């Protein structure tokens, strides 16, 4: 994609994460028999691993994206607390704002994994609110960090660190300094997040908070507007699992479709969304671009096992491969119109060209590569067999439309292919509304079919010369002469 997320590459925004730190502990093995003692599988453990979880997973995601991270939290005076402090130090994150509270149990979630499936989980943790002394010390630590951060992320896992008083105090302090505060919320009472920049509940969490069952476009709009209004947000977001996410900015509701193709483990996907949003916004990205970036980052991590992270390179690679298989690039006009609506919502420039593309040759390939270089998404409208016969006579096409479509769709420059029966693609252009119309030959732009449609909405029409000596007709003539 041309310049996709270019403003995020190589940036190191300073982000403060406040919330519930925990350890994600994994026991990995295989399950090949049932216990003779009870109707449960026996997992033969071959290895175990531990990573930062909860707010710690947000930290890890930010570090993977390239941010400089500060973390503030309360942990226990126990072995797990020491492990967390050591993990943070190993990643280059300071421990000065980690408050130790006597008698508190640091959270640790242990998951038993057998053949890439989670068999069970058991937790050790304290869930009660941190005490007054810890709260006061934590607030002082956060205040001391505000002068050197660009963004604050509140990762609330409901384990007692983000008390209502502390949360409201942090939001107030940040707003006074013009610092954005993004929240991954917990529970049903969102009053403690009032005045934040953005909250990111999933569908279930949003239903709990609003009391609205989200089962339609109308109920989604009602719930997200409730969040925006009642929590006094700058933006409201609801993540919708396989349906992507929804964003509301006070005037417009935008649906961002999912881009995940394989889902192995949803552990930590919400952490990735929060981290990616915070990273992109801290880099100065517009909210809609930040949301698309977070959506793609989440798609990367759910394709991995365990609490995972995504780098910018992985997000870019994922988006660049999101078109999928050759067959999935060949769409009917209605399917294509929906696809392009989503691409346009991501700010992508749509390039349209059309032709017969009978006996694909180097001239075709070079022409399509040049057309793709003019934008982000290249759509090729292919004349059907009947349409080719009407234009070129009964002896054409040599290659049937299905094969022609497959060959064109297999080219790296081409994003989508559709077949049209009409003599011209005028109605198709009217439906798809491309940003740029490209035609090969020596036409005058004003005489190209679709010129009036594209230019009426501020688009462009370009004429590109064919590669000299390369044409299907000349190939056929050479074959016949032999």
Give the three-class secondary structure for 65: helix
Nearest to 306 by CA among 266, 262, 263: 266
271: annotated active-site residue: yes
C-beta separation of 35 from 42 below 8 A = yes
Q: Which residues, listed in sequence order, are joined to residue 51 by a DSSP beta bridge?
A: 24
Please state the pTM of the whole predicted model: 0.68
Q: Exposed, middle or buried: residue 103 (CB in 10 Å: 0-12, 13-18, 19+)? A: exposed
Residue with the two structure tokens 């953005």: 198
C-beta separation of 408 from 382 below 8 A = yes
Q: CA 275, 279, 282: angle at the middle one, nearest 5?
A: 135
For 442, phi and psi rounded to 5 degrees?
Answer: -125, 35
Annotated active-site residue in 271, 376, 415, 435: 271
Would strands 14-19 and 151-155 be described as parallel, antiparallel, or unpaired?
Answer: parallel
One-character DSSP codes across 102-164: TTPPPEEEEEEEETTEEEEEEEE---SPPPHHHHHHHHHHHHHHGGG-SEEEEE--SSSSS-H
Q: Which residues contact 352 (CB under 8 A, 6 or more apart)?
A: 379, 381, 429, 432, 434, 436, 437, 438, 450
pLDDT of residue 296: 87
Cis check: omega of the bond before 327, within 30 degrees of 0:
no
Would strands 117-124 and 107-114 be described as parallel, antiparallel, or unpaired?
Answer: antiparallel
Q: How many CB atoms lie within 10 A of CB 169?
A: 16
Cα dihedral value 216, 220, 221, 227, nearest 10? 160
pLDDT of residue 392: 83
C-beta separation of 233 from 180 below 8 A = no
pLDDT of residue 265: 45
For 429, phi and psi rounded to 5 degrees?
Answer: -65, -40
pLDDT of residue 7: 81
The Cα 257–Cα 339 span in angstroms is 10
Positions of the chain with pLDDT lower than 70, given as ranges = 1-4, 258-268, 303-307, 319-325, 466-482
C-beta separation of 185 from 167 below 8 A = no
CA 427 to chain centre: 33
């Amino acid at each position: 994609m041309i310049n996709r997320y270019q403003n995020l590459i190589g940036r190191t925004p300073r982000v403060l994460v406040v919330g519930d730190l925990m350890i994600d502990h994994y026991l990995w093995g295989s399950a090949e028999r049932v216990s003779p003692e009870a109707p449960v599988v026996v997992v033969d453990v071959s290895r175990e691993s531990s990573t930062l979880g909860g707010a710690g997973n947000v930290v890890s995601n930010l570090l993977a994206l390239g941010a400089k991270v500060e973390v503030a939290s309360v942990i226990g005076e126990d072995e797990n607390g020491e492990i967390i402090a050591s993990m943070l130090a190993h990643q280059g994150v300071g421990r000065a704002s980690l408050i130790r509270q006597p008698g508190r149990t640091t959270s640790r979630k242990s998951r038993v994994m057998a053949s890439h499936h989670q068999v069970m989980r058991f937790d050790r943790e304290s869930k009660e609110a941190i005490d007054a002394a810890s709260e006061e010390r934590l607030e002082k630590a956060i205040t001391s960090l505000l002068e050197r951060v660009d963004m604050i992320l509140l990762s609330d896992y409901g384990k007692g660190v983000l008390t209502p008083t502390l949360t409201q105090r942090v939001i107030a302090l940040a707003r006074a300094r013009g610092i954005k505060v993004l929240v991954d919320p917990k529970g049903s009472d969102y009053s403690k997040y009032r005045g934040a920049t953005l909250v990111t509940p999933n569908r279930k969490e949003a239903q709990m908070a609003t009391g609205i069952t989200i089962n339609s476009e109308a109920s989604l709009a009602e719930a997200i507007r409730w969040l925006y209004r009642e929590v006094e947000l700058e933006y409201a977001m609801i993540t919708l699992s396989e349906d992507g996410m929804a964003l509301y900015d006070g005037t417009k509701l935008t649906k961002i479709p999912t881009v995940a193709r394989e889902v192995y483990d949803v552990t930590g996907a919400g952490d990735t969304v929060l981290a990616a949003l915070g990273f992109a916004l801290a880099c100065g990205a517009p909210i809609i671009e930040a949301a698309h970036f977070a959506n793609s980052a989440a798609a990367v991590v759910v394709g991995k096992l365990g609490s995972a992270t995504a780098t910018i390179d992985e997000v870019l690679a994922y988006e660049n491969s999101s078109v999928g298989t050759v067959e999935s690039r060949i769409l009917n006009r209605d399917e294509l119109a929906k696809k392009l609506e989503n691409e346009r919502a991501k700010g992508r420039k749509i390039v349209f060209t059309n032709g017969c593309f009978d006996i694909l040759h180097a001239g075709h390939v070079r022409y399509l590569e040049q057309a793709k270089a003019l934008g982000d998404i290249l759509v090729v409208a292919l004349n059907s067999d009947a349409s080719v016969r009407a234009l070129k006579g009964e002896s054409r096409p040599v290659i049937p439309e299905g094969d022609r479509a497959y060959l064109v769709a297999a080219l790296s420059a081409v994003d989508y292919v559709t077949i049209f029966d009409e003599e011209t693609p005028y109605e198709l252009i009217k439906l798809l509304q491309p940003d740029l119309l490209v035609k090969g030959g020596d036409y005058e732009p004003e005489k190209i079919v679709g010129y009036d449609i594209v230019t009426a909405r501020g688009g462009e029409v370009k004429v590109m010369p064919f590669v000299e000596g390369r044409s299907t007709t000349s190939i056929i003539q050479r074959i016949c002469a032999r």
